[in-house]
Amino acid sequence: MAHYFRVSKAPPKPQGFFRSWISSWDLTSWLILANVLFFIFLTIFRGFFKVDDLLALQPNNLFNNGYFWTLLTSMFMHANFAHLFVNMFSLFFIGRFLEIILGKKRFFWLYIFSGIFAGLFFAVLSYFFGSAGMGANIFGTPDIYAVGASGALFGILGVLAFLTPKNKVYLLAGPLIAIILQAIIGNFTSSAGLLDFIDFVVTIYIFISIFSMMSFRASKITIPIEMPFWVLPIVALVPLIIVGLFISLPIGNMAHLGGLIAGMFYGIYLRLKYKRKTQLICEYFSR
Domains of the chain: 26-167+229-284 (1.20.1540.10), 170-227 (no CATH)
> What per-residue string of b and e applies to 194-218 under the rule 16 or more CB within 10 Å gives b?
eeeebeeebbebbbebbebeeeeee
Mean pLDDT of the chain: 85
| Residue 228 · residue 157 · CB < 8 Å | no
pLDDT greater than 50 at residue 259: yes
pLDDT tens digits, 47-61 = 777 888 899 999 999
Confidence check: pLDDT of 5 > 60: no
Contact 256, 232 (CB under 8 A): no
Alpha-carbon distance 6 to 166, whole Å?
Answer: 55
Counting Cα atoms < 13 Å in the Cβ hemisphere of 53 gives 6
Task: Report pTM.
Answer: 0.84
pLDDT of residue 126: 94
Question: 224 by DSSP, 3-state: which?
Answer: strand
Residue 228 belongs to what H/E stretch? strand 224-228
pLDDT in tens, 168-212: 888 778 888 888 788 778 777 777 788 888 888 888 888 887 777
The pLDDT assigned to 199 comes to 84
Strand partners, 227: 169
> Torsions phi, psi of 115, nearest 5?
-65, -45
